[in-house]
C-alpha cells in the first residue's frame, strides 16, 4: 500500500496560470511532510517542511499547506523556470516515504 500519493502525475500550465499539486498520505503519526523540487538529472532541492495540520509556508510563487490527510503545493502565476518535478515526502518518526512526484511544465 502506497504511503504517499501525488497527483496529478503531470501538469502543463500556461505562464501565469495558477494551480495546485496534491500530496495525500496514509502514514500515522506524521512527524513531518517535505516538499522538494527536482530538475532533470539533479538532486532534489528542499522547499518546505510542514509539521502539523493547518500549517502554511510560502516562498516566492509557492505556498504549501497541510491537513490531516494531505498537503497542497499552490503555484501562483507560474513562470517557465518553475518547470520541474515536485516531490513530496513524509516522515513517520521511523522512515521517509517519497511520492512519485508531479512533473510540472510551464509554457511561455
Partner 1 sequence: DTEVTQTPKHLVMGMTNKKSLKCEQHMGHRAMYWYKQKAKKPPELMFVYSYEKLSINESVPSRFSPECPNSSLLNLHLHALQPEDSALYLCASSQEPSGGAYNEQFFGPGTRLTVL
Residues that bind partner 1 (CB under 8 A): 31-32, 34, 36, 41-46, 49, 87, 89, 91, 93-96, 98-101
Residue with cell 500550465: 13
CB of 99 to partner 1, least distance (A): 6
CB of 18 to partner 1, least distance (A): 25
Please state, as a whole number, how many other Cβ atoms lie within 10 Å of the Cβ of residue 10: 11
CB of 72 to partner 1, least distance (A): 19
Can you give the C-alpha Rg of the chain in angstroms? 13
Cβ proximity to partner 1, 49 vs 76, nearer residue: 49
Amino acid at each position: 500500500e502506497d504511503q504517499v500519493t501525488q497527483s496529478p502525475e503531470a501538469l502543463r500550465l500556461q505562464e501565469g496560470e495558477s494551480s495546485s499539486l496534491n500530496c495525500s498520505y496514509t502514514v500515522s503519526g506524521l512527524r513531518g511532510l517535505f516538499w522538494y523540487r527536482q530538475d532533470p538529472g539533479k538532486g532534489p532541492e528542499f522547499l518546505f517542511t510542514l509539521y502539523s495540520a493547518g500549517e502554511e509556508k510560502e516562498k516566492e510563487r509557492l505556498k504549501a499547506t497541510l491537513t490531516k490527510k494531505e498537503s497542497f503545493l499552490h503555484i501562483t502565476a507560474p513562470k517557465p523556470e518553475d518547470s520541474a518535478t515536485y516531490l513530496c515526502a513524509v516522515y513517520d518518526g521511523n522512515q521517509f516515504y517519497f511520492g512519485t512526484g508531479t512533473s510540472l511544465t510551464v509554457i511561455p
